[in-house]
Amino acid sequence: MKKIAVFTSGGDAPGMNACIRSVVRSALYLKMEVYGIKYGYNGMIEGDIYKMKSYSVSNMVQRGGTILKSARSKDFMTKEGRKRAYDQLMQRGIEGIIAVGGDGTFTGANIFYDEYGIPTVGCPGTIDNDLYGSDYTIGFDTAVNTALDAIDKIRDTAASHDRVFFVEVMGRHSGYIAIQCGIGGGAELVMVPETSTTIDDVINTLKEGRDRQKTSSIIVVAEGDEQGNAHEIAGRVMKNLGDLDIRVSTLGHIQRGGSPTAFDRILASRLGLAAVEGLVNGQKNVMVGIIDNKVHYTNFKLAISKSKPLDQELIKLVQILSL
């Protein structure tokens, strides 16, 4: 294999640039040509593809976001769009692809491989940490630390005014960010999509805290909790505990930005190298991940479809430490 391409797709995640850097320099080290595709699958269709050199990725390991940009592509969902993307790659003699993104990115890559057989290796780049086949995904650690910094500040004002704060973090289908923030931020309760927590559970937790002379509380809510978002949950709780001063803070997209942590930079660098080596060694239609600190390759279909359950010990730890 002499020519490969790399692109980022879906939601951005801190550490994507570190992964791009690793892919480019690993490919050059192995005497390969490497191309960058801008704007994900849209760029692949439109031919927004350029040859990358070592200097193309200078001074970027510390930068958040993605220099290759990202976009969601409706055209790639059509056969006509995928044919145009294939033609663009063939015009440049590209023999393999490295895709950095989440389940939507890998779903597209899986279909593209089935139709055209271009070897593709995916690097898991999503703050949600919800992909089966890797203990951690690129951007997760940074997102947790960003959210935790905000929660620490919110706790200061909660304690100063004897308030209850419902803090909403990202996680439409996954509670990984919420559970880590709950433990690290000393939350009284964590609400995640993977477990059932009723409004009565929230009310009882706050009442029990008040009985123990707790004057302030933090409830961390994953945006995809079955009871609704933080505003909806707080509103229902206020109807039953009107004497409490209840506030809501939605952290939103700040969790996606910022300089990646050392953990994410190293993880992204390892995954980038492993992706290039995987292509060279004949891996195709797989996601590269780190499990028990070792490189593993997992078929796209399995990485996308198999659920990645929360660690039950962490859920138990939240309950114990909130007493």
SS3 77: helix
11: number of Cβ within 10 Å: 20
Other CB atoms within 10 A of residue 227 CB: 18
| Amino acid code (one letter) for 221 | V
Alpha helix segments (H runs only) across the chain: 16-29, 40-46, 79-91, 103-116, 140-161, 176-184, 199-211, 230-240, 262-280, 300-305, 312-321
CB contact set of 226 (below 8 Å; sequence gap of 6+):
193, 196
Contact of 41 with 68, CB cutoff 8 Å: no
Q: Cα(139)–Cα(261) distance, rounded to whole angstroms?
A: 8
Taking a C-beta distance cutoff of 8 angstroms, is the pair 221, 230 a contact? yes
Q: Which amino acid is at 259?
A: S
Phi, psi of 98 (to 5 degrees): -115, 120
Residues 254 and 150: beta-carbon distance below 8 Å: yes
**Catalytically active residues, by annotation:** 128
- Tokens (6 digits) for 54: 């070592």
Going by the DSSP 8-state scheme, the letter that residue 307 receives in this structure is -
Q: Residue 78 to residues 16, 85, 108, 147, 277: CA-CA distances in angstroms?
A: 27, 11, 10, 37, 31
How far is C-alpha 294 from the geometric centre of its chain's CA atoms? 20
Cβ(308)–Cβ(294) below 8 Å: no
